[in-house]
A and B are shown apart, each in its own frame.
Chain A
Amino acid sequence: MSSSTELPPSVATDAAPLLQLDDLAVHYSVAGRLGTGRRLLKAVDGIDLEVRPGECLGLVGESGCGKSTLALAVMGLVAPTRGHIRIAGQDIGQDARPDRKAMARTVQMVFQDPYASLNPRQTVRRTLADPLRLHGVSDAAEIEHRVAEMLARVGLRPEHAGRYPHEFSGGQRQRIGIARALILKPRLVICDEPVSALDVSIRAQIINLLLELKDELGLSYIMISHDLGVVEHMSDRVAVMYLGRIVERGGWREIFENPRHPYTRALIAAIPDPFRLHAATARDKAKGEIASALNPPSGCHFHPRCPMRQDRCTVESPRLDPVTAGHGDVGHWAACHFADRTGAS
């Protein structure tokens, strides 16, 4: 059934976005050697992005691209240097101090490593009950009920509540991490590489669980991953980041079937996939390594690695513009001077 591949009915394309980023920038000041000469690290540098209710946005990029800083900014854990973050109508930009408690009821996060992100000295019950108490639920019976209900939702049994993290396997721990993120009924969940620390045979369980919960609870996700197979499977829309900027965004089908930015093409070409129909060509592969965000290349940040580079790319930074012949009701944008040529294959 092809309709299952389109946006789920819960995504209201015309509804007000749940999350909106306008020209978001987060710059860090980094000390030089021996404390001299502070330099500016532009971890996130001018990002426009939105997430609609019920939607899963896949965020793709390699180390240093700024995807984790972006997540921290949305969580209200780092202050933006420039720009605005609006979540459910509330502005948490650099001027307005975010109300941490209200934020916690709106945005939550599932972390990569379920071994490091759970307190080893707390039972599962306490890990799940503490947020409820902090947010004013004081009735013991209600707390117990909500903890048991949440455990059942993520596929654990009520008696698991009395156990400690070390008594669980990696997959079960990630279920606890998901339960903790959902216990306050947030609307947006940031999943930061939620399966990459898990054994291969366990990953499918967690991916299926995340998708079920999204549909049952009407959640929105920002799905951060370097695994393009997982991103394609889970996302409604996809944004690709490189050195602090979005280089391409669009519906999952546009991004994976007709990528227009050479970096997106390189990412796809780099996936070892024995079922791939066409072998990756040299034209698609990226050369060399990711530059330091402290000293990004001039013009288009990707130009030193780009197989299609022209002189213009070394001086002029491309804007994120709609691609011609882009289709789909969610739009398709790429930041490449030659985006229209890239697609012609």
Chain B
Amino acid sequence: MSAPPLLEVENLRIDLLGDDRRHAAVEGVSFRIGRGETFGLVGESGCGKSITALSIMGLLRHPLAIGGGAIRLEGQEIQSLPPGQIRRLRGSRIAMIFQEPMTALNPLSPVGRQIAEMFVLHQGAGWSEAGDRAVEALRQVRVPSPERRVKDYPHQLSGGMRQRVMIAIALACGPDLLVADEPTTALDVTVQAEIVDLMRELCAANGTAILMISHDLGLVANICRRVAVMYAGRVVEEQAADAIFRQPQHPYTQGLVASLPLLGGRAAHGRRRLAEIAGTVPAISAYPAGCRFNPRCDRATDVCRVEDPAATPLGDGGLVRCHHHG
């Protein structure tokens, strides 16, 4: 029996608790991330990708709650740990960076102190030693003149610098897993490229695995080795990153790939009408019966409207959930 993967999410269900009933916002989500592996979770707003990330961090709050399944860190179930224990994991073994660093950082505390806090809380360092290590951590994320910058408050930094500070905090204790939820969406494109390069490089050097959450299929495919696509609370397809683009199997993934105006496409093929996916994403309270993509799918047949498709394994350990895939 081989060692368990770093992170294993198995048959996860997240409930949205209403007044008199509960809706499954996420259902039957399973994936594994190995040590040092990069894994992407892609989908549109409301597909459940961000709350999946929050559930791994133990950060779900009412009205959201885990309704079933398991989240295991190296074989140990963490979804039902008491708050004190999950807090010790958070920051030291699993860390997270968010989309908008201005709202994730404490506006009343110098950034150096917010980094130093990690060493004090998780590694029992004294404040003065932790302060020195904070300077070092800022240097690592290539903030210029870190000795001076540790005293700055978040509002004194640009968006890109703030996200570097977030990365410094997240990686301070050398976590095994970094969860990054749309880490570059709020940034300008040239700054985004720098931040992505930095994240990838630091994680590779420390053997930190990345779970990248994004709506940007191109970004995720560039960074991650494997990608799972979510739609309406379910994983509809999981494959190696290059295969997701070149041989997407699920009609939704195929539609997404075909609808993107990719750079160079016009020069190569002329201006083609972009493929459209009809309709809109359903609300959590109105998920259709059967396959949740069926009202928007041009391949839908009677079976799709009644029977939820099971996961069909694909060659490389991937899967697709569709009655008519391929």
Contact = CB atoms under 8 A, between A and B. Distances in A.
Interface string B225-261: 0000000000000000110010000001001100111
Contacts of B262: 229, 273, 275
Contacts of A267: 189-190
A172 B17 CA distance: 29
A229 B216 CA distance: 13
Interface residues of B, number: 45
B271 A289 contact: no
Given A201-B281, A232-B266, A273-B218, A4 B259 contact: no
A5 B222 contact: no
Contact of A268 (B241, B256, B263): B263
A230 B7 CA distance: 37
Contacts of A230: 261
**B interface majority secondary structure:** helix
B18 to A, nearest CB: 20
A333 B241 CA distance: 38
A257 B267 contact: yes
B190 A5 contact: no
A112 B223 CA distance: 28
Interface string B275-308: 1110011000000000000000000000000000
A273 B263 contact: yes
Interface residues of A, number: 50
Interface string A285-297: 1110110000000
Contact of B261 (A172, A199, A233, A257): A233
* Chain A interface mostly: helix
A39 B118 CA distance: 40
A271 B263 contact: yes
B264 A256 contact: yes
B68 to A, nearest CB: 28
Interface stretch (B22-30, B50-58, B191-199): B191-199
B190 A208 contact: no
B271 A4 contact: yes
B264 A275 contact: yes
Contacts of A201: 44, 252, 255-256, 259, 277, 281
Given A63-B188, A226-B189, A233 B274 contact: yes
Interface in B201-219: 215-219
A108 B45 CA distance: 29
B196 A272 contact: yes
A5 B189 contact: no
Contacts of A290: 188, 190-191
B5 interface: no
Nearest to A253: B267
7 nearest interchain CB pairs? A233-B261, A270-B193, A204-B259, A204-B274, A62-B188, A272-B222, A274-B221
Given A229-B260, A274-B221, A274-B241, 20 more contacts: A2-B270, A5-B266, A62-B190, A201-B256, A204-B274, A204-B275, A205-B276, A211-B271, A228-B189, A232-B266, A233-B261, A257-B267, A271-B263, A273-B222, A273-B262, A273-B263, A273-B264, A275-B245, A289-B191, A305-B190
Interface of B: 44-45, 158, 160-161, 188-194, 196, 215-219, 221-223, 241-242, 245, 252, 255-256, 259-267, 270-271, 273-277, 280-281
